[in-house]
């Protein structure tokens, strides 16, 4: 969930999905202090989970059911999307009201797995930006989306700066992404546009064909499951949902959208998702629902932030 786009869409999108109890178990519960759990990732080598706290402006490490600070962000930045790749932790970061108390710059940051920051890659364009989600390609290229500006960027292996893909404001509000196996295209979910496929050679995107009656707007988090389908958190709708999406092999159309969970307290305020060979996880209660769009302090009572593990068949 992002500090600007989500509040614009809550009243604009809806869903006809019936209630579906969450097939899940509690994985970790934080406290009721301001944190805003957003990004979630795992280091397969050590088994450590990392979770990004927007309001707390820090990344926490979870190991064997216990949490501790991993890194605090510099320069008023708050962490959003995070991913472990190449023995590094990649972080999209932005200065936002819910963290620093004011809006400011945005950048891609990189830490070693001991918590030391080893790189900063600012957004190269002028104006307001908020890098939110990211995905890392097998060759080490890092793709990031700017949910506020509508642009997407790439940091190529060995490069020293982000490069925008195509036109500025190409999308409305791009969120989660996934790279196709051939490395030629990105699946990009956009709050307003739904599911899109971005051709990396031409920087032109096309909307996927969607079956009648299925709403794929308001999707935030996206993670590929082991069977090739996708796990998605849909928090830009009146009621949040956790979805399982099956696409055609060429990613030209959506074949099915299964509602895994809806109208359930376990996923009442979801943000991002992740999946690997240890299972599928979602930040089920992020605390975003307690914060207003233009407020640093929570405007509603805070719940304890919570990560759940999905029991998928």
DSSP codes, the chain: --TTHHHHHTTT----PPPB---EEEEEE--SSS--EEEEEEETTTTEEEEEETTTTEEEEEETTEEEEEEEPSTT-EEEEEEEETTEEEEEEE--HHHHSS---EEEEEEETTS-EEEEEE--SSS---EEEEEE-TTS-EEEEETTT--EEEE-TT-SS-EE-SSTT-SSSEEEEEE-TTSSEEEEEETTTEEEEEETTTTEEEEPB--TT---TTEEEEEE-TTS-EEEEE-SSSS-EEEEEEE-TTSSBEEEEEEEEES-GGGSB---EEEETTEEEEEEE-SGGGB-TT-SSBSSPPPPPEEEEE---
CA 177 to chain centre: 8
10 Å Cβ neighbour count for 39? 27
pLDDT of residue 213: 94
| pLDDT above 70 (res 204) | yes
Q: Which two tokens stand for residue 300?
A: 């509603």
Confidence of residue 11 (pLDDT cuts 50, 70, 90): very low
CA angle 114, 105, 169 (to 5 degrees): 115
CA distance 274 to 5: 21
C-beta pairs of 295-303 under 8 Å, 24+ apart in sequence: 295/97, 295/98, 296/97, 296/98, 296/99, 296/101, 297/34, 298/34, 302/32, 302/33, 302/34, 303/32, 303/268, 303/269
Q: Domains, the chain, ranges and CATH?
A: 5-310 (2.120.10.30)
pLDDT of residue 2: 59
Asked if 40 and 280 touch (Cβ cutoff 8 Å), the reply is: no
Confidence of residue 38 (pLDDT cuts 50, 70, 90): very high
Q: How confident is the model over 274-293, as pLDDT tens digits?
A: 999 999 999 999 999 999 77
| pLDDT above 50 (res 8) | no
Q: Which two tokens stand for residue 25?
A: 């178990």
5 vs 2: which has the higher pLDDT:
2
| pLDDT above 70 (res 1) | no
pLDDT of residue 308: 97
Q: How confident is the model over 211-266, as pLDDT tens digits?
A: 999 999 999 999 999 999 999 999 998 899 999 999 999 999 999 999 999 989 99
Q: Which two tokens stand for residue 142?
A: 């890092």
Asked if 53 and 70 touch (Cβ cutoff 8 Å), the reply is: no
CA 101 to chain centre: 22
Asked if 49 and 278 touch (Cβ cutoff 8 Å), the reply is: no
Mean pLDDT confidence for 83-96 = 97
């Amino acid at each position: 969930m992002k500090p600007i786009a989500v509040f614009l869409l809550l009243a604009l999108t809806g869903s006809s999905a019936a209630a579906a109890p969450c097939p899940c178990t509690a994985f970790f519960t934080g406290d009721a202090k301001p944190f805003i759990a957003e990004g979630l990732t795992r280091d397969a080598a050590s088994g450590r989970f990392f979770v990004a706290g927007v309001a707390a402006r820090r990344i926490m490490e979870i190991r064997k059911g216990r949490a501790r600070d991993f890194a605090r962000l510099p320069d008023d930045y708050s962490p959003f999307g995070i991913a472990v790749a190449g023995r590094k932790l990649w972080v999209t970061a932005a200065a936002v009201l819910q963290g620093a108390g004011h809006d400011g710059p945005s950048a891609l940051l990189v830490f070693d797995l001991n918590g030391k920051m080893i790189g900063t890659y600012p957004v190269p364009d002028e104006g307001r930006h908020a890098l939110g989600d990211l995905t890392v390609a097998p060759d080490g290229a890092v793709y990031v989306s700017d949910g506020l500006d509508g642009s997407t960027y790439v940091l190529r292996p060995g490069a020293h700066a982000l490069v925008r893909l195509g036109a500025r404001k190409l999308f409305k509000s791009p969120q989660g992404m996934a790279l196709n196996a051939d490395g030629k295209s990105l699946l990009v979910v956009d709050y307003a546009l739904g599911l899109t496929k971005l051709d990396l050679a031409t920087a032109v995107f096309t909307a996927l064909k969607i079956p009648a009656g299925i709403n794929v707007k308001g999707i935030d988090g996206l993670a590929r499951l082991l069977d090739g389908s996708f796990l998605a958190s849909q928090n830009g709708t009146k009621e949040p949902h956790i979805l399982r999406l099956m696409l055609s092999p060429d990613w030209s159309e959506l074949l099915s959208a299964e509602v895994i969970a809806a109208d359930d307290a376990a996923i009442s305020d979801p943000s991002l998702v992740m999946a690997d060979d240890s299972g599928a996880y979602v930040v089920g209660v992020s605390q975003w629902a307690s914060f207003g769009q233009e407020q640093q302090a929570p405007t509603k009572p805070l719940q304890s932030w919570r990560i759940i593990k999905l029991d998928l068949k």
